[in-house]
Structures are given as structure tokens and as C-alpha cells.
């Protein structure tokens, strides 16, 4: 109890003074103003080396393979506009893997992405996609998807030789639920689950309006407060345990400044770009944004309590339960809390 009280007092004393980039010419035409106004701002971890990455560059640095490791030859060069053409292969695209040209163990330099500038912008890349989904009762969910070329997994019990969950490609997101244009709750994705808090409970940026996201070192899981976060049990984060994410007030990233912006019709399953220009096809890609899991026979692959060090890359935004009824994904154990806890 002492530790919890101390943490709450510490949080109350925090101030936020990072500069944010002006939206300038990147105004999101036709998207509701409140989607911009309440867009989350992020603190990356001070020890992070795998920064936000360009979504399109992932295609340039990879080649498609099926789940047996066979190369797939698409009829035309792949782009973000036609990536969903890979759905014609390998079980409707489900078993297509965008496989890194060098291999995951090579850790090529492009895995490191682009460190945001001092104002939080990433002008050389587009590492964020915003997707709005209209729901009944004047509700609109705005998903803010963040992309990283590489995910470095956790050390089990703090032991570097017991690392698992490394994969090429990494999609994370926060979701802000609006009712009648007012923010009511924020969801933070964390590995295979996540946490949710009322908007009023979240920490805010320097304008006192935009919720703050703390991004975990390496894994890029999203948290509402800084510090250690053990995530061994879904929807239960504690300050110590065998699988601990670390967050702090490191480099600022303002994802919405350089972002693609879309709407999604939950009835028809159709994505549309608000500006009519941003590429759409990639959102329909059914496959994985990285390599397949390495076989156990591969040198360097290890089995950690039934989990592997090198695992398969993730699926994209379309697979993140955009049509969810509640703030949390359907079927996930997750409460919308009104008090910030680890």
C-alpha cells in the first residue's frame, strides 16, 4: 500500500513540458476535429533503440513467403496500394509473411526506424495510421495505430539469455472512444491484451487535453503511467515480476503529425482515406508484417517456458477488433478504470 500511495503522489507531481510539432499542412481534411484535438502523444523509453518506422518501407525491405518458407511472386511490384493482392496466395493471405531480406537474426539497421525530432515529428516517415469507426448511439472510436519495424522481446526474470518474443514488424495502438464528440475512455494495447481508463483519469500533455502514452522499451506496449510494468497476467500490471516492461519520460513522439487517416465502415468492412490520397490496399492485407517463427532447429532459437525467442510477425490494423462493442476488444478481460494504477 505504501508503494501505491507513493506512486500516486509521484504521478500527481509530474509536469509535462515537451514541445509538440505544429500540424501545419498535415491537417486531416474532413476528419472530425476532435480526432485531432484528443489524439494521444507518446513518450518513448529513454533507452529505446527501435523507433517508429515507415509503414511503406517495410515492403521495400521484405519479400513475401508462405508458411512453408516458399517465396511468393506477386504479378506486380508491391506497394501500400496493392499489398492486399497477396491475399490471392496462401489461404487468402493469412499465411503470407513479409519476410525480412536479411533475416531476423541479422538485426539490420532499418530495424531501428527513425528517432523523432525534438518537436515530436517524424517527417521522413509515416509511422502512424488513424482509423475512425462510427458506432451506434453517437459513438465514434478513433484508433491510433503505431508501427515499428522490429519488436525486441522481454528478458525473463531480467536475464538477457532468456529473451523471448522478438519479431519483425510491430503494430500497437491506442483507441479513444468519443460520445457526441467528447472523449470518454482510452484503450492502451499491451502485447496480446491491454488496459483501459476513463479519459478523465489519463495523464495529459502540455495542452491539458491530449492523453499521454508511455511506450515500453523494445516491445512498444502502451501504458498510461511511467515505470515498470510486469505483464505476466493479462489485465493485471504490477511493478515487479518475471515479464517486466519498462517505460519512462524519454523522447517525445507526436504520431498524428505524420499519419495516414482513414474511416472504416464496420458493416461493409470498407476502409476509405479521408483525403482520397492515402493508400488503402495495405489495410486489407490479411497476412503478417514480418518473418515467420524460426524453427526450433535454428541456431539461436530458444524455448523459454514454452515460448520462443524468435516468433512470427503480427497481423495489421484490420485484425485489431475495429468493430468492438466495448472499449476493450471483444472477448478480452479488461475493465475501464477511473484510477491510474500500474
Give the tens place of pLDDT for each residue, 107-119: 999 999 999 999 9
171: left (phi over 0), alpha (psi -120 to 50) or beta: beta
DSSP string over 265-277 = ETTTTEEEETTS-
226 in a domain, yes or no? yes
16 in a domain, yes or no? no
CA-nearest of 328, 35, 20, 320 to 183 is 35
Q: Are 274 and 260 in contact (CB under 8 A)?
A: no
Which pLDDT score is estimated for 231?
Answer: 61
1 in a domain, yes or no? no
Between the alpha carbon of residue 341 and those of residues 4, 99, 170, the distances in Å are 8, 38, 25
Which pLDDT score is estimated for 5?
Answer: 38
Please indicate whether residue 194 or residue 141 has the higher confidence score (pLDDT): 141
Q: Which residues contact 161 (CB under 8 A, 6 or more apart)?
A: none
Range of the domain at 317: 33-329
SS3 284: helix
Q: Quickly state the pLDDT bin for 237 (edges 50, 70, 90).
A: low
Average pLDDT of 160-168?
83
Q: Quickly state the pLDDT bin for 304 (edges 50, 70, 90).
A: confident
CA-nearest of 45, 39, 48, 42 to 16 is 42
Which pLDDT score is estimated for 331?
Answer: 81
Q: Which residues contact 109 (CB under 8 A, 6 or more apart)?
A: none
DSSP string over 223-267 = ESS-EEEEEEETTEEESSSSBEEEE-S-SEE-GGGSEEEEEEETT
Which pLDDT score is estimated for 6?
Answer: 36
Q: Quickly state the pLDDT bin for 18 (edges 50, 70, 90).
A: very low
Average pLDDT of 34-50?
98
SS3 200: helix
274 in a domain, yes or no? yes
Which pLDDT score is estimated for 235?
Answer: 56
Question: In what helix (H) or strand (E) does residue 170 lie, and over which residues does it extend?
Answer: strand 167-179
105 in a domain, yes or no? yes
Please indicate whether residue 62 or residue 241 has the higher confidence score (pLDDT): 62
131 in a domain, yes or no? yes
Q: Are 128 and 52 in contact (CB under 8 A)?
A: yes
Q: Which residues contact 276 (CB under 8 A, 6 or more apart)?
A: none
Q: What is the mean pLDDT of the chain?
A: 89
Domain count, the chain: 1
The percentage of residues in the chain with a pLDDT greater than 70, rounded to a whole number, is 86
CA dist., res. 75 & res. 97, Å (int)? 17
Does residue 213 register a pLDDT over 90?
yes
Q: Quickly state the pLDDT bin for 1 (edges 50, 70, 90).
A: very low
CA dist., res. 128 & res. 52, Å (int)? 8
The percentage of residues in the chain with a pLDDT greater than 90, rounded to a whole number, is 77
Which pLDDT score is estimated for 158?
Answer: 62
Q: What is the pLDDT of residues 67-104, one digit of tens each?
A: 999 999 999 999 999 999 999 999 999 999 999 999 99
CA dist., res. 204 & res. 39, Å (int)? 11
Q: Quickly state the pLDDT bin for 163 (edges 50, 70, 90).
A: confident
Average pLDDT of 131-148?
98
Please indicate whether residue 287 or residue 341 has the higher confidence score (pLDDT): 287
CA dist., res. 317 & res. 199, Å (int)? 23
Which pLDDT score is estimated for 238?
Answer: 62
Task: Specify the residue for cell string 510477425.
Answer: 313
CA dist., res. 134 & res. 333, Å (int)? 23
Q: Quickly state the pLDDT bin for 45 (edges 50, 70, 90).
A: very high
14 in a domain, yes or no? no
CA dist., res. 270 & res. 145, Å (int)? 17
CA dist., res. 209 & res. 227, Å (int)? 22
342 in a domain, yes or no? no
Q: Quickly state the pLDDT bin for 26 (edges 50, 70, 90).
A: very low
Lowest mean pLDDT among 32-41, 219-228, 304-313: 304-313
Which pLDDT score is estimated for 192?
Answer: 80
Between the alpha carbon of residue 318 and those of residues 100, 127, 219, 306, the distances in Å are 22, 16, 20, 28
Average pLDDT of 200-227?
96
Amino acid at each position: 500500500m505504501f508503494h501505491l500511495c507513493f506512486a500516486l503522489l509521484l504521478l500527481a507531481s509530474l509536469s509535462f513540458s515537451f514541445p509538440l510539432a505544429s500540424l501545419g499542412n498535415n491537417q486531416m481534411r474532413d476528419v472530425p476535429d476532435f480526432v485531432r484535438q484528443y489524439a494521444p502523444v507518446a513518450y518513448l523509453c529513454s533507452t529505446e533503440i527501435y523507433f517508429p518506422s515507415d509503414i511503406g518501407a517495410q515492403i521495400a525491405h521484405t519479400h513475401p513467403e508462405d508458411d512453408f518458407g516458399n517465396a511468393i511472386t506477386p504479378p506486380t511490384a508491391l506497394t501500400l496500394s496493392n499489398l492486399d493482392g497477396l491475399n490471392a496466395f496462401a489461404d487468402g493471405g493469412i499465411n503470407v509473411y513479409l519476410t525480412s531480406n536479411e533475416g531476423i537474426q541479422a538485426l539490420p539497421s532499418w530495424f531501428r526506424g527513425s528517432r523523432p525530432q525534438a518537436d515530436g515529428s517524424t517527417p521522413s516517415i509515416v509511422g502512424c495510421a488513424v482509423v475512425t469507426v462510427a458506432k451506434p448511439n453517437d459513438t465514434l472510436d478513433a484508433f491510433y495505430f503505431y508501427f515499428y519495424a522490429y519488436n525486441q522481446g522481454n528478458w525473463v526474470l531480467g536475464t538477457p539469455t532468456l529473451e523471448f518474443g522478438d519479431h519483425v514488424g510491430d503494430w500497437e495502438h491506442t483507441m479513444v472512444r468519443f460520445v457526441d464528440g467528447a472523449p470518454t475512455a482510452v484503450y492502451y494495447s499491451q502485447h496480446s491484451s491491454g488496459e483501459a481508463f476513463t479519459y478523465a483519469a489519463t495523464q495529459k500533455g502540455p495542452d491539458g487535453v491530449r492523453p499521454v502514452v508511455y511506450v515500453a522499451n523494445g516491445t512498444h506496449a502502451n501504458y498510461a503511467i511511467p515505470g515498470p510494468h510486469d505483464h505476466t497476467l493479462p489485465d493485471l500490471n504490477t511493478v515487479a515480476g518475471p515479464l517486466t516492461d519498462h517505460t519512462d519520460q524519454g523522447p517525445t513522439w507526436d504520431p498524428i503529425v505524420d499519419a495516414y487517416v482513414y474511416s472504416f465502415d464496420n458493416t461493409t468492412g470498407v476502409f476509405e482515406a479521408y483525403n482520397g490520397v492515402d493508400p488503402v490496399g495495405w489495410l486489407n492485407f490479411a497476412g503478417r508484417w514480418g518473418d515467420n517463427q524460426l524453427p526450433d532447429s535454428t541456431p539461436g532459437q530458444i524455448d523459454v517456458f514454452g515460448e520462443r525467442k524468435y516468433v512470427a510477425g503480427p497481423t495489421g490494423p484490420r485484425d485489431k477488433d475495429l468493430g468492438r462493442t466495448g472499449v476493450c476488444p471483444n472477448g478480452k478481460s479488461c475493465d475501464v478504470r477511473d484510477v491510474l494504477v500500474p
